[in-house]
Amino acid sequence: MTRKRFDNVWDAVEDMAEAAENMKLRSVLMLALRNHINRTKMSQADAARLFGVTQPRVSDLMRGKINLFGLDALVNMAAAAGLQVKLRVQRAA
């Protein structure tokens, strides 16, 4: 049995590098949004109003249902929350 070592869980889970990169970005954004909600002690209903989405959508975010969120939606929610999203692109190692 050969063991493979991965730098990130998404590299291990996803078959394609492109999919893994997308999941990495989505997970970072979801964590930032969840941390913002927790840090500000915002209710899910308040967060939904701020983000311009429904409360069940915020519940999905808080539960980490990453498959329900695209990058565009997460960036829009972060901007609505007053968070600045920065993207850095560099050559893969």
Q: Which domains does the chain have, with CATH numbers?
A: 17-80 (1.10.260.40)
> How many CB atoms are located within 10 Å of the residue 75 CB?
16
Structure tokens at 73: 């939606």
- Per-residue pLDDT of 24-80, as tens digits, reads 999 999 999 999 999 999 999 999 999 999 999 999 999 999 999 999 999 999 999
Q: Check residue 81 and give its pLDDT.
A: 96
Q: Could you give the C-alpha distances from 32 to 3, 15, 88, in angstroms and in order?
A: 32, 26, 16
pLDDT at 2: 76
